[in-house]
Structure 1
Amino acid sequence: MEALRTIRTPKLEIAYAEAGPPDGPPVLLLHGFPYAPHAYAEVVPRLAAGRRCIIPYLRGYGPTRFLSPETPRSGQQAALGQDLLDLLDALAIPCATLAGYDWGGRAACIVAALWPERVAGLVSCTGYNVQDIAGSAKPASPEQEHRLWYQYYFHTERGRAGLEVDRRGIARLLWRLWSPEWHFDATTFAASASTFDNPDFVPVVIQSYRHRFGYAGGDPALEPIEAALARQPRITVPTIAPHGGADGVGPAAASADHHRHFTGPYERRVLPGIGHNVPQEAPEAFAQAVLDLPSA
């Protein structure tokens, strides 16, 4: 990937890498928690021969910064979707392929659902990633509740303090638990972990995991978007949904019925032996999903 660039949106100065021909069909590659744009290091070379690849740091990660101290340090889903829409506007991109996983997949799903005219195609790992906050109090199976321990930990002040003190230790543990068959080395982890030193990382993460269960208020400016997402809008754009067969936080079976959320062309691809971090564990399969979609 090329050297970092920055661009201002109404709320952020977003840092991003770019590769490929400037006039090529644009593809935005969006990372999740606790990951970084480095997850796409082996995806980009597979796309950059013909696609304009843009790989941003989400709010709270790396060099991306809030413009005002008054802006709520929110990690709620509406914030992620609005940030992505604002980035498309700032870059003067009328329509793009959106591809992501975890938080990045959520941002991509939100823009695809609410502003489909801006999306040529969608790659969303684990399928439909729009949160059903109203239904968040409904218990899951004991096995799934066990997988979500870190979210409940972050609901407490002990969890906030733990993330502040040892964000790398928590992230490394989650990488191992979520991708049990991926044997990453210290250098690979360090390349992403340095992005967690952003001063807004902890407040954004904590607010995200509290808001999705109704334990923290959101940014009032984003309430119209949250209201639209509460209706669980369907996605009309062509979509490919890779899902790691060894995903340790969201098992592949969980997305088996996600086709009901999509009214356009939709294909689910289960990847045996792959965990949660699909672009870094299976870069060829992730890149192929992008290439198999219509381009802008």
Structure 2
Amino acid sequence: MPRSSPVDGFSLGYDRTGDGPPVVLLHGWPGGRGDYRLVEPLLADAAEVVVPDLRGFGESDKHPVPPDEGYDAAAQARSVTGLLDELGLGPVVLAGYDIGSRIAQTIARQSPERVRALVVTPPMPGAGRRLLDPDVLTEFWYQNFHRLELSGRLLDGDRDAVRTYLQHFWTHWSGPSYAPVDADLDRLADTYGQPGAFTSSIGWYRVGPGILTRGLAEQAPSLDERLPVRTHVLWPAHDPLFPAAWSDRLDEFFADVSVTELPDSGHFVPIEAPEEFAAAIRRALRES
């Protein structure tokens, strides 16, 4: 497996397959670059596909640094753009789900010239005070738990405890037609259960004010400050974190945005709806 040159001391492990215009796929939590194992073959004849493990995940570096010095969106974006530079990739179709979506959007805002199109799933801007809906608000308990040192003391380095914990999310956040198989959960546990790995993976959640404060403070930008990159949003119908109704304000934040509803998918779109994910990327390649 190739590794990138370090950025801020972090080297990324990544997969690189196919030939054609470049596509970069960013995973979410709790996952890794293997989340795209079903998507990659569907793009092999159409694109050069690069799939990194983000900082603190999988086979990428994990360093015990303050989260805001290593694991926030800006830091993760530096590693991804460093990888683009190292591989000599021109404007890319940049795709992501979960935290990978936020990182992809950060890169597009900071460096729109690097991104020919976005293909992303929630989280997306525009939720606002709907984050206070009791049915939704209770779903975000894990973010506060991750900000406590207690989470690391209870879980870090304990493979069995980590497996049980991650199994909750992979079953609760997924759609009704998907259930993770034991082999996949075992692979997750083997990776996240290594000493230091769980704590590194939740560095993202230990930065900033959290989704509720950020969402309540969010304001739509002026017309000329909307994200100019063409954006394709895949919105699953069975994601308990991000109800499909929250897609109604996207045009307040993006200059060119389209939404494809996924009626059978939950949160883990690359695993639950790989054909739709790959089709959206192919569409972005054709249109951009």
TM-score, normalisation: structure 1 = 0.82
Taking a change above 3 Å as real, the CA distance of residues 192 and 235 of structure 1, as seen in their structure-2 partners, is: farther
Q: C-alpha offsets along residues 116-151 of structure 1, whole Å, 9 cap, x if unaligned?
A: 100011001026369x9xx89x96221111110111
Bigger relative contact order, structure 1 or 2 (CA pairs below 8 A, ≥6 apart): 1
CA drift of 1:243 comes to 1.1
Higher helix share: 2
Residues 14 and 198 of structure 1, relative CA distance in 2, 3 Å threshold: farther
Cα drift, residue 25 of structure 1: 0.3
Distance 2:235 2:5 in 1: 33
User: How far 1:162 moved relative to its partner?
Assistant: 2.8
Aligned to 1:81: 77
1:225-271 Cα deviation digits (max 9, x unpaired): xxxx999763211111001100122222223322211012x111110
The whole-number CA distance in structure 2 between the counterparts of 1:139 and 1:179 is 20
1: distance between equivalents of 2:251 and 2:201? 29
**Alpha-carbon deviation of 1:76?**
1.6
> 50-59 vs 8-17, which deviates more?
8-17
Q: Which amino acid aligns with 2:171?
A: R
What is the aligned partner in structure 2 of residue 225 from structure 1? none
Alignment RMSD: 2.8
Structure 2 matches for 1:38-53, cutoff 5 A? 38-53=34-49
Q: How many Å separate the matches in 2 of 1:250 and 1:139?
A: 9
For structure 1, the residue ranges without an aligned partner over 5 or more in a row are 216-228
Deviation at residue 153 of structure 1 after TM alignment: 1.5
Distance of 1:231 and 1:85 partners within structure 2: 26
**TM score, norm. by length of structure 2:** 0.84
2:138 alignment partner, SS class: helix
What are the superposed Cα offsets for residues 193-223 of structure 1, whole Å, 9 maximum, x if unpaired?
Answer: 43324555333344322323269xxxxxxxx
Structure 2 equivalent of residue 245 of structure 1: 237
CA offset at residue 156 of structure 1? 2.3
Q: 1:140 to 1:75 in 2, by over 3 A?
A: farther
2:168 to 148, 157, 173: 173
Question: Distance between the aligned counterparts of 1:206 and 1:70, measured in 2?
Answer: 12
Q: Residues 230 and 288 from structure 1, CA distance in 2 versus in 1: closer, same or farther, beyond 3 angstroms? A: same
Separation (CA, whole Å) in 1 of partners of 2:196 and 2:93: 28
Give the conservation status (yes or no) of the 8 Å contact 1:99–1:123: yes
Query: Could you tell me how far 1:61 is from its partner in structure 2?
Result: 1.2
Does residue 1:6 correspond to 2:11, yes or no? Answer: no
Match of 2:102 among 87, 106, 116: 106
- 1:293/1:27 Cα in 2 relative to 1: closer, same or farther (>3 Å)? same
Question: Alignment partner of 2:240: what SS?
Answer: coil
Distance in 2 between residues matched to 1:234 and 1:9, nearest whole Å: 32
Partner amino acid for 1:259?
D
Q: Look up the match of 1:268.
A: 259
Unaligned ranges ≥5, structure 2: 212-217
2:280 aligns to what? Answer: 289
Which shows bigger deviation, 281-290 or 55-64? 55-64
